[in-house]
Every structure is written in structure tokens, then in C-alpha cells.
Chain A
Amino acid sequence: MNRAFPWKRAALALFLAAVVSVGCAKKQTVRSENAGAASRESQQAGAPGAIGEAPVRETPVTEALKAAEPTQTARAAEAAGVAVTEEKPSVFEDVHFDFDKAALRDDGRKICQTVADYMKTHPRAKILIEGHCDERGTAEYNLALGERRATVVMNYLVSLGVPRAALSTVSFGKERPLDPGHNEEAWAKNRRAHFVVK
């Protein structure tokens, strides 16, 4: 997974360039008498293709490599990437959900009430609600399910009087489990909405 690869990337660039150049390749018969005769024979037999030329041309490698060098934006993105992949601790408990469900349970409602009370005494606080899922099922579906869980929590907080503008959501689907285990106990912990106070 962490092999060195710059030369491979260069090879790919060449390969792709080669594939492109084939599109405009001209067929050219090899001058060997024998090959010509054999080719005619094979065509009588129904086989495709006389000897032809498929030129694979070289293209500059340097451009592709330049584009791969990290830019300022890429470095900023990398910093943001690390921020996203690290779990930020919360003063609130996580709200948990049943498998493949986004409905709030009673325990979840109580936690939401705690959050709503906090927001009344901290009117300038902003809260990001992260939706998470367990590892079972497709990543795409879980991403949408995580968003639905976060939104259900957000809507409930709004119904408890928290201003909508103080809240935002993001789903990480099954990408960032709290418990790396592969059993019901871990799964139950991972199906959650996590609060990050900004």
C-alpha cells in the first residue's frame, strides 16, 4: 500500500499517451514476403488482422510529474483532511441508533435535551452534528444514512428551541468507527450522532 510510485506514475502517463496515439495509428504492412503470404493465408481462414503497426509514441513525462507535486492548495487540503479524519472529543454523549434506522430513541432524546439546555446558556456556541454508521452494508448507502441520522438530531434540536443557524451536519458513513471491533457491541457504539462544539 505504501510503495514508492513516481516512476510508475510516469509509466502510466506514457501508457495513456500511448493509448491515445494508437487512435491515430496507420496500418502498415510489414515488408517481409513471408509475413505477407502468411497473413493472406490467415485471412482466408477467417482470422483477423494482417501484420500491422501500432505505434506507441513517447510523450514528455515531466509535465505529468509537475502536476503531481503538492501545491499550496494541496497542502491546505491535507491539513483539512487530517482535521476530518481525527475524532474531536465532545462534552456531550453520542446519540445512538438501531441498525439501518435513523429514528431517535428515548435515550437519544434525553441527550438532545442536554445539548439544547447547553445552547440556551451558550447562545454564541455552534454545533456540528456528525452522523456515523456501523461497518455493515455499502459505503454509499451508509453515507446517506449517516446524513439522515445527523439531520434527525438537528431537526429535533431545532424543535427544542435551538436556532437552526447554530447547527450544521456532516456524514462520515462507516468511514470513521469509534470502536474498531467487528461485533454487535462495537456496531452499537458506532451507529451514532456525535456533537462537536465549535
Chain B
Amino acid sequence: MRRSIRMAAAAALLLLSGFPSAAFPVLYIDINSPGGKRMPIAVANFVVSGDSALSRGIPKIIENDLLLTDLFEIIPQSAHLEAVTAAHFSGTPLSFPAWKVIGAEAVVIGKVETKGDRLSIEMRLYDATQGTLMVGKRYEGTARQVRSIAHRFANEIVYAFTGVRGVFGTEIAFTARPGKGRGKEIYVVGMDGQEMRKVTDNRSYNLFPRWSPDGQWLAYTSYRTGVPAIYLRNVASGAEKVLVRFGGAKSPGGFSPDGEWLYVSVSVDGNSDIYRVRVVGGTVEKVVTGWGLDVSPSPSPDGRRIAFVSDRGGSPQIYVKTVGGADETRISQGSGYATSPSWAPAGDRIAYTARSGGHFAIYTVAPDGSGRQMVASAPDGDCEDPSFSPDGRYLVYSFRKRGYSDLQIISLDGRRERTLISGHNDEGSPAWSPGR
């Protein structure tokens, strides 16, 4: 963010001083101009001592990440003319004309050194038109960390070109029926669709996974004891504690940005209200109450407001309320059925699900209810449960069609979409992890 402002200021200065903007010396991608030219980039084979599979393996991970953004065009390895060697990391410059001639405006090179169990990976991004280094990083870790290291450098590349952090290496939690089993379990999968794994395994219903702001914990509802309760689970260690026992039906909505509170909905005597519960200590405060069913609280990024669902008007609709205030404004339109609000990380939009023409579609709207836009819909199926990526550029949502289900990732303008997970296991309730 800060960088893009600085860039804009620099650009304005150049324009004022009579510089033609074409002479602006830094490659830059405007992520807000849809259909803009994609940046042609080449990721050379890595120079490797040890496991030779990494020579192409790491570039593949980076290339796949860059393709996911739809901001880059990959110049295939078969077209590369210059063989990168260890000397290019110790003083010998790349032959940039050899990269420019194949159309590459940027080049990524890398070198892997193996010392026993440990790897040292150095990666550099060059502006091929100027012959300058844009980013250089060296990472150290084990062979198992190669994928996350590659994701991190891919994030550096996206940041260098756009001023916005990439989301590679982030994860999506979701629920699905286990292969042949009963109930529902919680799973986590990388945003690139790789490295899926089970988080819960108790053959009960485990629902509504929600990430803590530090990405370490998942809050979720489980029926494992026969009675529903909201649990907090440390994703890495599996350590767990019960956070909410009172009442009947209950679901976590989202954490406050400081991670101190979990907003939840709990049914007491058949009436669902919204509460917040202190993560440490368990103090409970009522936030939204009334005779209607109030569910799905989603805190704003500044923590001052929540979006939630209430059927007080006769059908479920989206409302926004200041925490501790008396105002409650309805922001969804029409008499239909609107649920699952998710507040954008920048605070400027709220995504939600609404019924339209017999099917559910995904919309975004400003927090004051203005400027509604449809993001995803299908004539023969339902698009539901949107959750924002940490950079606010994408939504992950669930799609269902007569027993088939999948999770889709779509850009906010609705132009780019891909399938994250597909199957017939009732995949749903996706939640995107915070940035890392």
C-alpha cells in the first residue's frame, strides 16, 4: 500500500517535471486496471547442488503462483537462451539482451545450496529491460520447507510489481464429508490447491472454521460430545480448548482484529443472538439481541462494527451495527434471502450471499448498503459462503449443484476464476487464512 502511494507520488512528480511517463524506470503492474497487459516474466532453471529435481521444481511453484494472479505471462523454459550458472550469483551479470529477445521483461534466477539436511536458497528478480536487481533474498531451511520458501519469494515478486503483498502460502479452511465416513470434518488446503490435510478427525459434525488473526488457531463448532460446543484449536500442535458451552445451536462468526474476542451466535430458548466471548477468560457480552434469529457476525477490520444476519424483518437479511452502539442498519436489498456476510480486509466492502432467480449468488456492497455488485452466480447452482483473501483481491466461495460441490476462487471483479477443490463431499464453509 505505502509503496504504491509513493510510486504514485513519484509518477506525478515525473509527469510534472515533463518526463514522458513511458520513461518511468520501474516495471509496474496496475492491479486495478482489468484486462491490462500481463507482465512477461521468465523463471530460469535454478542452479542446484544436491537434489537436481529442485532445478525445475522451484521455478514451477513460482510460475504457478504468478499465473494464479493473472498478472503475469510466463516465458516457457524451453525458450530460454541463457543458461544461468553459479557465476551469476557472484559477480557475472546476466546477458539481459538474451532475455529481452525472447520477450521477457523480468527474469527470476535462483541458486540452491545443500548442506546436509539444510538448504540455502537465493533468489533474485531482475528488471530485464533495465538490467537492474528488483529483489534479492536468501532463505535457509530444510527440504520440506522448499514449497513455502518458493511461495514467499513469489509474494516478493508480486509485491515488487504491484505494491500489494501476494497471498501465496496462505491457506483455506473448509468443511467436507470425509470420503466414506459420516459427519463433517475440517480440512485445510493451500491457496494453490496443494497440501490438503484434515484438521479434525472425530466422525462427528465439525463446522464453521474461523481463523484467528495470527493464523495459529481455528475456532469451530463441534458435536463430538453429542452436544454442540465452540472449540479453539491450534492448527500446528492440535492443542484445543472449549470456548463456548452455553445455549443450544451455536456457530463462530469471526475474531476481533486484535484477536481478543470471538464473535459467535448462540441459540438460547430457540432464539439465536450474537455474543462476543473473550478468548482468554471466556467472559461473554451480548452484542445483538431481539426476537429474530441473529447469526453470522463478521467484524470490520477496525473492530468497531459488525455485519450480521437477522430475520427480524421476515426473511434473513444483512445488517451492520456499531459494537456497543444502538444503530442497526440493513444493507441488503429486496425481500429475498441474504446471508453470510464477510467484511473485506480494507473495510470498504462486505461480501454476502443472496437468492436471486431461485439460486444463490455472491454480491459485494459498501458497508452503508450502496454500490451493490454481483461477483459470482450460476444459472443451475448455488454460490455461497464468500470469504475474502487477505489482500482483498479475491473471494473463495462454495458452489453446489445437485450433489456436486466445489470451492471456487474468484477475483473481486468476477473476471478470473478457478476451482480450488472439487468433489461430491459437500465441500463448504471456506475461510481464507490471514496473510503471512
Q: Mark A residues whose CB is within 8 Å of B.
A: 1-3, 5, 8-19, 30, 32-35, 38-39, 41-42, 45-58, 63-64, 67-68, 70, 74, 77-78, 80-86, 100, 102, 131, 135-141, 143-148, 150-152, 154-155, 169-173, 175-176, 180, 182
Of the residues B156, B239, B295, B296, contact of A49 by C-beta under 8 Å: B156
Q: Given B117, B272, B423, which contacts A144 in the complex, CB threshold below 8 Å?
A: B272
Asked if B133 is at the interface of the complex by the 8 Å CB criterion, the answer is yes
With contacts defined as CB atoms under 8 Å apart, how many contacts are there between chain A and chain B in the complex? 285
Pick the contact of A1 from B147, B238, B423 — CB < 8 Å?
Answer: B423
Interface on chain B toward A: helix, strand, loop, or mixed SS? Answer: mixed
B265 contacts A140, C-beta separation under 8 Å: yes
CA–CA, A11 to B171, complex, Å? 14
Residues of A within 8 A of B253 (CB): 140
Given contacts A34-B91, A53-B138, contact A143 B251 (CB under 8 A): yes
Size category, B interface: 35 or more
When chains A and B are docked, how far (Å) is the Cα of A173 from the Cα of B249? 9
B204 within 8 A of A: yes
Closest to A63 in B: B237
Selected interface stretch from B3-11, B278-286, B363-371, B406-414: B3-11
Determine if B267 and A171 form an interchain contact, defined as CB atoms under 8 angstroms apart.
Answer: yes
**Given A46-B7, A83-B226: A147 and B270 within 8 A (CB)?**
yes
B346 within 8 A of A: no
Whether B148 contacts A18 by the Cβ 8 Å rule is: yes
CA of A185 to CA of B318, assembled, Å:
29
Chain B positions near chain A (C-beta within 8 angstroms):
3, 6-7, 10, 25-26, 89-93, 117-118, 122, 124, 127, 130, 132-142, 144-145, 147-149, 152, 156, 159-160, 169, 176-180, 182-184, 187-188, 195-198, 201-205, 207-208, 215-216, 221, 223-228, 235-239, 248-251, 253, 265, 267, 269-272, 293, 295-296, 309, 311, 315-316, 337, 339-340, 353, 360, 382, 384-385, 400, 402-403, 423, 425, 428-429, 436
Contact of A48 among B90, B139, B160, B223 (CB under 8 A): B160
